[in-house]
Structure 1
């Protein structure tokens, strides 16, 4: 069995959603190999990162190796294309963050979505050109392409990134949020009342479609509620781009996992009005914590949320007003959405994702007598 190398370029930057997926999937893979018999030892598995990598993930046994002459932005890109294929020349290389070296042919590359084609206005010109150049090459040179939803698979085929027979879907997990001890005091400290606010991600990317939430919360019917936005984009950021921000919008900035968990648990709803998503992890994270979700029926959101989330048209503010008002006015509906949301989100675990990855890597992972399977583990 060949050694396995994970591309650790993601350790050079502050974590985003894609980087969170990489780290959680590697953690789950490590747990799987430790707890089950397999054809590989963890001494044969490593994460290889540029020497500039600052983040230190808490892997138990998988080594993090920093190596290569190129480090630091923007030199991490030549590191990935020149250093990494040489370092991993005798290994099976796994790239989990949309990119990888085109001249390492024994590799699996996870491409999360086709957003650079679907919503080009969300990205800089250089970013779009680079992705549109490299990703189709990876589609041809990689042993296989991974993606995170059937929707993303369809779009990658549509735009010629890779043929369908070469693409495998591995859904994200969302159960990592259950490991966080919520910082319940953060809600009151932020001046918020339980179930009197709607939570959403603060992003100026066009496909995140925050404008429709601003328009909804400008409606007097929602004047008694607050829209809480978490993330890097501030009120001044939106206003500089021509957005009109209603007075009942609160920006809490970048927050940690414990604070986010508390906000989700005590929110009236989590709103995701995106016009396209390759997966849609934040609504599922909210749902597994018992927060009702309202989504736009776009991209992979209906695929992963199923019937367990309310839906509103992404371009019709009054539909968002009506869905929010229905939750605020009906305790039975809130209770139903909490329960159905938890049930749906529990289907998406990192254990399941790791098992699928292990199978693709050629590992025959066998349960030991007495080991809990994914369903048993989820129910604890």
Structure 2
């Protein structure tokens, strides 16, 4: 029997939660194909409406979830899991950011995350991560070997299922191909201050559209940015996000730290040229399907972005390479390999 930790369902599908959602659906399908019993264990919906949701949800995960999953193997896909549960569980850890870039997090969150990750690393049957970069950094931080982590790569097929809502362009006051797109929060690691500085140096009228949530309570060093050449879209639904990708002149991932960088392959899947940082996991994930810049140099960022914007040939090459690259990333294959590991190793 396989149980899946469904705590992620209490929050919006952004980043890690998106991975949890897509893998959960494919794991359920794979278990059905293999005739293996599988159940997603989800907290009561009233918790989502509570002002104390983070605390109550954490208590549910630590106290109730292990009791409900005690007769099977528990799969945890979103960084957290019961720390004192029986050993029959797999935990997917997406990155080692709390160790590598502690300045991006509040002290309280960082201490809890590190405490929990160390207990999980010591007590879980199996550990997993989403890139070779991340499992290497996690292994180093947690006193493990790289081989202690199985690799669970992400996918991009979900963006092709979505519809489009082009009204978002008029709502934001932008036109087709008149903007660069960045996706993510306004925390310092996303490097928006350098990206904005780069955009101001580009000799075009392009603006930067930033789509995504802005949960500033979690991040202690959020960037205060100048809005003159930047449009903050805030949280957008899936159809709006697809439209923003589709009509962007290019997609820019400026992060100084990413465990994987899901938006890069989402953009590739939708035929958008990708320009990104040469840091952390991004070169591993994007391969030759992106143009790279030094994320610490606005001048280098501006130079590379401008090269892509001014050359139809370069954009065409990036689009074709992106379409080929994204074939390496498939939610179904990831779920198949994960289920096989759970059934044979836990």
TM-score by length of 1: 0.83
1:149 alignment counterpart:
131
Deviation at 1:233, TM superposition (A): 3.5
The answer as to 2:16 corresponding to 1:23 is: no
CA distance in structure 1 between the partners assigned to 2:198 and 2:167 by the alignment? 28
Deviation at 1:191, TM superposition (A): 2.7
Q: Any idea what SS the aligned residue of 2:210 has? A: strand
2:39 alignment counterpart:
46
Deviation at 1:132, TM superposition (A): 0.8
Change over 3 Å in CA distance of 1:10–1:328 after alignment to 2: same
Q: Which ranges of structure 1 fall in alignment gaps of 5 or more residues?
A: 56-70, 364-380
Q: How does 1:35-184 map to 2 (within 5 A)?
A: 36=33, 38-40=34-36, 44-52=37-45, 72-102=53-83, 103-160=85-142, 162-184=144-166
Deviation at 1:163, TM superposition (A): 3.1
CA distance in structure 2 between the partners assigned to 1:226 and 1:310 by the alignment? 19
Q: 1:334 aligns with which of 288, 308, 315?
A: 315
1:308 alignment counterpart:
289
CA distance in structure 2 between the partners assigned to 1:350 and 1:202 by the alignment? 21
Deviation at 1:49, TM superposition (A): 2.0
Q: How does 1:196-211 map to 2 (within 5 A)?
A: 196-211=178-193
Q: Which ranges of structure 2 fall in alignment gaps of 5 or more residues?
A: none
Change over 3 Å in CA distance of 1:306–1:83 after alignment to 2: same
Summarize deviations over 1:9-57 as a string: whole Å, max 9, x none. 11222333111101100111223344x4x141xxx211112224677xx
Q: Any idea what SS the aligned residue of 1:75 has? A: helix
Summarize deviations over 1:277-321 as a string: whole Å, max 9, x none. 111001110111011111111111111100100101001111221
Contact kept in structure 2, 1:327 and 1:333, CA below 8 Å: yes
1:369 alignment counterpart:
none
Contact kept in structure 2, 1:175 and 1:346, CA below 8 Å: no
Change over 3 Å in CA distance of 1:23–1:241 after alignment to 2: closer
Q: Any idea what SS the aligned residue of 2:260 has? A: coil
The answer as to 2:3 corresponding to 1:10 is: no
Deviation at 1:217, TM superposition (A): 1.8
1:284 alignment counterpart:
265
Change over 3 Å in CA distance of 1:351–1:53 after alignment to 2: farther
The answer as to 2:214 corresponding to 1:233 is: yes
Q: 1:325 aligns with which of 306, 309, 312?
A: 306
TM-score by length of 2: 0.91
Which structure has the larger Rg over C-alpha atoms? Answer: 1
Change over 3 Å in CA distance of 1:244–1:22 after alignment to 2: closer
